Amino acid sequence: MYARPTEEPGTGSRRPADTAFGKPSNGFTVSILVTGGAGFVGSNLAMKMKGDGHRVVALDNLKRRGSELNIARLAEAGVEFVHGDIRNKEDFPSEPFGLVLECSAEPSVTAGYGGDSPEYLINTNLAGTINCLEFARRHASDFVFLSTSRVYPMAKLSNLRYSEGETRFELEGKQPFPGASGHGISEEFPLGGARSLYGATKLASEMFVEEYREAYGIKAVVNRCGVVTGPWQMGKVDQGVFALWMARHYFRAGNLAYIGYGGEGKQVRDLLHIDDLFDLVRLQTGDLETFDGGIFNVGGGKDVSLSLRETTELCREISGNEIKIGSDPETRRADIPVYITDCGKITELCGWRPKRGAEATMRDIFEWISSNETLVKRTLTA
């Protein structure tokens, strides 16, 4: 549990939070450093944490195209912004923080392939995360790490048994690996095998989170997120596909294709609304004693999942626009046919489960684009 006096950030004694959702007690707030705080997840969490009464500082190097659009929103919400790079220790604030929310990353699963150097990916997602842990160690900060379902190895995920329905691939109930079932992938899924360079940086970081807990006693939780989406996601082809799909429909921008697995768009992902992720992070940070040391699969689950074809249908229905979708049967490196999060462990521990459905989530993305059309058009159609 965190709740530290504002006048002594990072050094005050712990007091129980007032509510089950970790809202600060009267006069007690925590100071939070959100790394990657201008990104999709970071900016949304930062603003909502600020709304709960905490002092929040967002640090970001603005590498992601479109993150700069969040600076004005952060300022309006009262979140302080530091233009800094987690690869550089000297870019971190000098004062202590009670909590570090590590949301920075090169989040693309294709990074480092196709002639790209993996250097930026490794230096940010691994060395940079270790810098964040060092910051937390120096100031005895609590630590929340946004990891990914991509820590699970590709070959095993690709070899899951699935059937082919009219609009989507469906995981079968009986699977060849532990931790896999018709409900999706749980934390018991085996970790051996290549997982993508991105996934490797995240898994290695998870291991350092564990070591820092053990060696230095910092409290930490790891959330292995499936696809997270919602308003203010600057979707691109290799990351943020649901926001991208809606944007291309909204602006009638076209240039979309079903890529891989025969080019029919039957590949499936679950999707988690950013507000559902916030509900969980608020719960965790309000009672870190309970969640400390936990590694959790976090996603929309089977009930909140879409194939690309189904996504197209929803985008057509919601936007009223129909665009041509191309087809390329060849499967790209690091792609997988179906990923569904089994959230059983986190639900059992604290009762959290996603509340926003797939259609509601896509509608929220539509509303956001339509209310910010001029601002986001260039980024979302580039």
Ligand X SMILES: NC(=O)c1ccc[n+]([C@@H]2O[C@H](COP(=O)([O-])OP(=O)(O)OC[C@H]3O[C@@H](n4cnc5c(N)ncnc54)[C@H](O)[C@@H]3O)[C@@H](O)[C@H]2O)c1
**Which residues bind to ligand X, rule: CB under 6 A?**
36, 38-42, 60-64, 67, 85-87, 103-107, 124, 128, 146, 148, 225, 227-228
User: Which residue number, 299 or 337, has a Cβ lying nearer to ligand X?
Assistant: 299
User: Which residue number, 146 or 369, has a Cβ lying nearer to ligand X?
Assistant: 146
Residue partners of 18: CB distance under 8 A and separation at least 6: 24, 25, 26
User: Which residue number, 106 or 276, has a Cβ lying nearer to ligand X?
Assistant: 106
- The distance between the two most distant Cα atoms of the chain, rounded to a whole number of Å, is 60
Tokens read off for 265:
């768009």
357 three-class SS = coil
Closest separation in Å from C-beta 156 to ligand X: 18
Cα separation of 355 and 341, whole Å? 15
Closest separation in Å from C-beta 58 to ligand X: 9
Q: Do residues 344 and 184 lie in contact, with contact meaning Cβ atoms separated by under 8 Å?
A: no
The 3-state DSSP composition of the chain as helix, strand, coil percent (nearest 5) reads 40, 20, 40
CA distances from 85 to 34, 128, 288 (A): 12, 8, 27
Closest separation in Å from C-beta 103 to ligand X: 4
Phi/psi of residue 4, nearest 5 degrees: -120, 150
Closest separation in Å from C-beta 16 to ligand X: 28
User: Which residue number, 62 or 318, has a Cβ lying nearer to ligand X?
Assistant: 62
Closest separation in Å from C-beta 62 to ligand X: 5
User: Which residue number, 28 or 189, has a Cβ lying nearer to ligand X?
Assistant: 189
Phi/psi of residue 229, nearest 5 degrees: -150, 175
Closest separation in Å from C-beta 148 to ligand X: 4
Q: Do residues 16 and 31 lie in contact, with contact meaning Cβ atoms separated by under 8 Å?
A: no
Cα separation of 222 and 294, whole Å? 6
Going by C-alpha positions, the residue among 111, 109, 11, 105 that lies closest to residue 67 is 105
Phi/psi of residue 145, nearest 5 degrees: -115, 125
Closest separation in Å from C-beta 5 to ligand X: 29
User: Which residue number, 4 or 282, has a Cβ lying nearer to ligand X?
Assistant: 282
What does the angle CA 109 – CA 34 – CA 210 come to, to the nearest 5 degrees?
65
Cα separation of 125 and 104, whole Å? 8
Amino acid symbol at 102: E
Task: Using the structure block, give the residue that is written with the tokens 């965190």.
Answer: 2
User: Which residue number, 39 or 231, has a Cβ lying nearer to ligand X?
Assistant: 39
User: Which residue number, 38 or 323, has a Cβ lying nearer to ligand X?
Assistant: 38
User: Which residue number, 1 or 62, has a Cβ lying nearer to ligand X?
Assistant: 62
Closest separation in Å from C-beta 317 to ligand X: 23
**DSSP secondary structure, 133-145, as one string:** HHHHHHHT-EEEE
Closest separation in Å from C-beta 165 to ligand X: 24
Cα separation of 44 and 30, whole Å? 17
